[in-house]
Amino acid sequence: MKKIAVLTSGGDSPGMNAAIRAVVRKAIYHDIEVYGVYQGYLGLINDNIEKLELGSVGDMIQRGGTFLYSARCPEFKEKEVRAKAIENLEKRGIEGLVVIGGDGSYRGAQRLSEEAKNLKTIGVPGTIDNDINGTDFTIGFDTALNTIIESVDKIRDTASSHERTFIIEVMGRDAGDLALWSGLAAGAETILIPEVKADIEEIAEKIQQGMDRGKKHSIIVCAEGVMTGNQCGEELKKYINIDTRVSCLGHIQRGGTPTGMDRVLASRLGGYAVELLMQGESAKAVGIQQNELTCTHFDGIFQSEHNIDNKMYELAHQLSI
């Protein structure tokens, strides 16, 4: 393999730059030319592609976001649109493509590997949601988790000073990992995740019991996929007379300098993606499972829904009595 390309797609996540850097440096180390595709699949069809050098990824490992930019490109689901992308890769002699993104981005990569005559694709899990099969952790999850924990710690100060119940709305439309892990780490009394049906009456009872025992404040971490923080407050008021405050953390969860864990993960996965391309592998996603680098065919990734760790959910419940 002499030439490869790399792109970032879907929602950005902290550590994507570290992953791009690893792809670029690992490839150049092995005398492979690397091209950067700007704006994800949109740049691939618009021919927004440039050769990257060692210096292109200098001073990048610590930066949040993605210097290659990311974009949503719904038209990439159409075969004739993808044909344009394949043409742009083929005219440069690019034989390998590393796609850093979520499972939507993997679907695009899988189609490309099926439709192009001479293109191998490897997916790298980049999303804060930690919702991709075939890996224990995705790039960006640890940073987002720590951002949430820091915010909840600060909110807790006010919650305890003013003896209030705070509802913190965190990201996670379909996946509860961010809410579960941050709720456990920040000592939340209640964690609401999309994977488990919320029983608001029971939650209200629990808050009441806590107040009866002299508990002054309560923290509820609510994943956006369950309901908004405001809706949660309204629902609770149907069962209990409490003063709630809502904090929606929003996009601060997606930004910021990546943690050490995310930088190391991104470097390992990015480097491994290039190794797999060199071995002739294709239509696979890299991951980390029990601290070992692994790869899984895209079909295996799409086979089932991502699940939460039920034991961890149970533990969080037990520790929040």
Residue 172 assigned as binding residue: yes
Does 14 engage in binding with ligand ATP (CB under 6 A)?
Answer: no
Contact 272, 293 (CB under 8 A): yes
- Please name the residue that has the structure tokens 């490839």: 27
Q: Which member of 3, 63, 72, 215 binds ligand ATP (CB under 6 A)?
A: 72
Taking the C-alpha atoms of residue 201 and residue 212, their distance in angstroms, rounded to an integer, is 16
Taking the C-alpha atoms of residue 137 and residue 122, their distance in angstroms, rounded to an integer, is 17
Does 127 engage in binding with ligand ATP (CB under 6 A)?
Answer: yes
From 31, 59, 129, 199, active-site residue = 129
The partner residues of 100 in beta bridges, in order of sequence, read: 8, 124
Q: What is the DSSP letter of 170?
A: E
CB of 14 to ligand ATP, least distance (A): 13
276 phi/psi in degrees, rounded to 5: -65, -40
CB of 97 to ligand ATP, least distance (A): 13
CB of 224 to ligand ATP, least distance (A): 13
Taking the C-alpha atoms of residue 287 and residue 310, their distance in angstroms, rounded to an integer, is 21
Q: What is the DSSP letter of 258?
A: P
Does 9 engage in binding with ligand ATP (CB under 6 A)?
Answer: yes
Q: Among the candidate windows 100-108, 188-196, 198-206, 269-277, which touches ligand ATP by CB under 6 A?
A: 100-108
Taking the C-alpha atoms of residue 190 and residue 167, their distance in angstroms, rounded to an integer, is 9
The yes-or-no answer on residue 129 being catalytic is yes
CB of 220 to ligand ATP, least distance (A): 25
Does 140 engage in binding with ligand ATP (CB under 6 A)?
Answer: no
CB of 227 to ligand ATP, least distance (A): 20
Does 103 engage in binding with ligand ATP (CB under 6 A)?
Answer: yes
* Residue 187 amino acid letter: G
Q: Which member of 35, 38, 69, 76 binds ligand ATP (CB under 6 A)?
A: 76
E strand spans, 151-251: 165-170, 190-192, 218-223, 244-248
- Please name the residue that has the structure tokens 């491994």: 272
Tokens representing 273? 């993606």
- Annotated binding-site residues for substrate read 127-129, 164, 171-173, 224, 245, 251-254
Binding site for ligand ATP (CB under 6 A): 9-11, 41, 72-74, 76-77, 101-105, 107-108, 111, 127, 129
- Annotated binding-site residues for ADP read 21-25, 156, 187-189, 213, 215-217
Q: Which residues are catalytic?
A: 129
